[in-house]
Structure 1
């Protein structure tokens, strides 16, 4: 590793800084960003209420990525120059990949909160670690749910993206040995009505939304729900679009029974129960799993800073020694085959949906 430009601990009474990347404006998924930031900030406040990092306050320097990889890379450069000890956050996979590449090049520790793309970095690196499960793990759990529910002929409405292409490949590879088939529909080229026409001829029993939110996801759901030819077809959204309140607000009853992935256990840890209450008060709604990911990110980094100081190289060398009680279990990092970053393997994974009898309530459909 290159030498760190930072000393081991601040000695002048200054703060210990962590850079935080969050999508807060469109085209970023701003609602996810708001939950992520709430978790990051709650954990930082609690660290400071408990005395900070060896008496120095912990300061979050937040930058809005707006789902723009170039903007994220520039933010990493800026924050590195401002002397942050580490980077945290980000929700969008393609954005996190750009941030991870820049952090790796600069020798800046980066704990990624929410992005799941397997290839978060092109080459193995010691500078980057991740809390969210890799896409190949979570989406295989989702494929197992589909198979268990009797769905083996799956259509995907997909937009062009490395993330969506990776998800399609994972589903196809996992379903094929079980006789499953994945049929791709181009959501960029087809209107929602034309997509329904195509879907009706596929004999698929499930349609997965590998598209942006709110559009075209909302329009596709409405079109499918109205089309009598498609009665009984399962609509799924493995990337988690229905997790947030905006989904229910826009779709109402039509947004129920759309299974998605979330990364929560059936029962939170005692810390998680307390944090859930605090986040609910902060957000004025039930916190999503993304808010817990944000909280756990700062909790892990604060533990490493207390134990190993603010030297960047020492932080990056300590991922393997982390053992931190988080909101969803004990967090440890390891090297996982096919994953180039230090990985928590694995956070809990659930497939859930909104209950048709009460769309504001989530029900667990499968665990993995």
Structure 2
């Protein structure tokens, strides 16, 4: 029997795909059921994930293909989800650029030496070999594709450039990202220099994920809402567009499948129309916008993903069912991927996620058949 280590290198001859719902809807094709998955579906709300983490540092899990594969598969074993998303973290890109990050319990990621001034940009590693620095992610994707046995498609992802820049300057999480925004006002050219560097690495990283077996890509611009319309256009939207264009161009040039791409710009409800016109196949959204408003802004030429408030999973099953049905009905049965409006929270009950998935599937079948 071929070992996991050997499987990491076998980037072809994957088992045939049994459930292509999410790929079809991303491409605008008719589906009989609304596909559903959840951000952070491989995570701390699962006891089996906590068991893995009790024995391994967070980034050790990310860097060990067999462990990353295992936790990616955990929610697929439990729930009738329509996609898996590789277990990793958006901050592996700053790590690849030479920054040191520690995951502190109760605090989250902490950069030991964040960027304080434009002079610090020279400390970043440039012209890196992405295959060498991030090859462990590629190996995890390839292994997971084989281990999924075609059950569902596998999603790869990266953080958006503004979000990564914000973490690199703030040194961790922040409710205002004021240090990073200070750069945008004080050091405009240095900010663009950093964002261009990040775009180059992100593009190569995403293309590498497709080479490794990813069948769908998502870009997480998690701190878009911090910016506001003008700053978002200048420091996020233009770079998100570049990422999409370059990834698709590079995939086509390499004669690889041009996989669908999702953009999730949390808090950027003011920019949904713009986001729907920069080349992405799917626009994800958080829970702060009404589905009907979102559909009107985006139209029916682009697929929408979202947007149940993660806290709704705390509700009774009766209320949860009502909220899910209302959301699904407003978005419509086609060109729609059901998801939460952000990642599932660590104290969510797995049974509630199972109920969410089953309700979406059952109710969408009724909508499709009427």
* Alignment TM-score, normalising by the size of structure 1: 0.28
Greater helix percent: which structure? Answer: 2
Specify which structure has the higher proportion of strand: 1
Whichever of the two has the greater Rg, that structure is 1
User: Could you tell me the TM-score, scaled by structure 2's length?
Assistant: 0.28
